[in-house]
């Protein structure tokens, strides 16, 4: 179903800034990543999204393509944990769409669980999807990003062919201060941040930029379904703890993406751009009205009331 433009993109951006450029995005059918890709396509680009679910990925690609007449968006079934699969997906993207100029490492997994109920397999799964998946994505797309930046120079001036050769990793802020129920994700995302830093340092000399976008609580996303309950009191308390007093919108993550990929972001490299209304400054051990700290851990209770919530075997 077509999504109104104002839902995923601010009006400040000039149409056509990504004309004939190609974006490769893992997890591209997700609630946040799909809007990032949608914004890119609306501004003239084409795209390739990957995912493990064939139906969701193919439908997501078709839906994103509807944002602009003539847009080309390919959906590829590929598991980010499989290096060979990611290399094949990147090659197909570059071959069918003519290039691979930008990339988003967005595939991720998350759920709430105390360490006492977190199995080794569950921990490993998140590490493999988030961390290993981000590494595989970077490795798979880098040869094409180097080719792109050779054609579209990162000179600090507005090149006639536009920009290219940029990658964004999607992370989280839990590891900044520590967050109960998120041992697996804190470990995984801390590593993702450092993968981005390594790319920034090692591929910066080629002209590549590598940055992280760290979303905060974003309304209407699968992440919020997995990390918070829907009761009115809990939602109100959650919003009250955020300095700007509200949850974010998917458009605000898409706008950050456009900024980093545009000429305006040419000299931004090795940065963690936190888009959370200041939430990470005021949160930490507190888990809101649903799971009180430290009583929840002393009780041995199970996380309930969220999507995907379950007790893992030790």
Could you give the residue numbers annotated as active site? 171, 189
With a CB cutoff of 8 Å and minimum separation 6, the contacts of 131 are: 187, 188, 191, 192, 195
Q: Could you give the CA distance from residue 303 to residue 116 in angstroms, rounded to a whole number? A: 12
Q: Among residues 182, 51, 165, 39, which one has the least CA distance to residue 106?
A: 51
Find residue 26's DSSP bridge partners. Answer: 50, 105
Q: Among residues 169, 192, 184, which one has the least CA distance to residue 104?
A: 169
Token representation of residue 277: 């209304």
Sign of CA dihedral 25, 188, 211, 94: negative
Q: Among residues 191, 22, 36, 167, which one has the least CA distance to residue 105?
A: 167
Report whether 33 contacts 57 (CB < 8 A): no
The distance of Cα 24 from the centroid of its chain, to the nearest Å, equals 12
């Amino acid at each position: 179903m077509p999504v109104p433009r104002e839902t995923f993109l601010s009006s400040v951006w000039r149409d056509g800034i990504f004309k004939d450029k190609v974006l490769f995005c893992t997890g591209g059918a997700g609630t946040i990543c799909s809007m990032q890709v949608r914004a890119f396509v609306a501004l003239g680009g084409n795209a390739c999204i990957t995912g493990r679910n064939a139906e969701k990925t193919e439908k997501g690609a078709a839906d994103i393509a509807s944002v602009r007449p003539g847009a080309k968006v390919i959906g590829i079934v590929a598991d980010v944990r499989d290096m060979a699969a990611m290399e094949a997906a990147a090659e197909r993207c570059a071959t069918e769409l003519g290039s691979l100029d930008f990339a988003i490492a967005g595939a991720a997994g998350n759920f709430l669980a105390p360490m006492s109920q977190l199995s080794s397999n569950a921990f490993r799964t998140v590490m493999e999807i988030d961390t290993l998946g981000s590494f595989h994505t970077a490795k798979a797309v880098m040869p094409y990003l180097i080719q792109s930046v050779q054609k579209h120079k990162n000179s600090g001036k507005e090149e006639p062919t536009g920009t290219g050769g940029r990658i964004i990793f999607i992370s989280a802020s839990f590891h900044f201060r520590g967050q109960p129920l998120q041992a697996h994700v804190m470990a995984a995302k801390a590593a993702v941040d450092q993968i981005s830093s390594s790319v920034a340092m090692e591929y910066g000399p080629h002209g590549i930029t590598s940055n992280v976008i760290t979303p905060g609580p974003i309304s209407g996303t699968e992440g919020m379904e997995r990390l918070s309950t829907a009761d009115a009191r809990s939602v109100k308390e959650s919003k009250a703890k955020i300095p700007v007093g509200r949850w974010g919108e998917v458009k605000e993550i898409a706008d950050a993406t456009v900024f980093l990929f545009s000429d305006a972001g040419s000299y931004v490299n090795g940065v963690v751009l936190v888009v959370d209304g200041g939430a990470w400054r005021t949160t930490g051990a507190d888990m809101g009205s649903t799971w009180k700290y430290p009583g929840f851990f002393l009780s041995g209770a199970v996380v309930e009331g969220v999507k995907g919530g379950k007790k893992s075997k030790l």
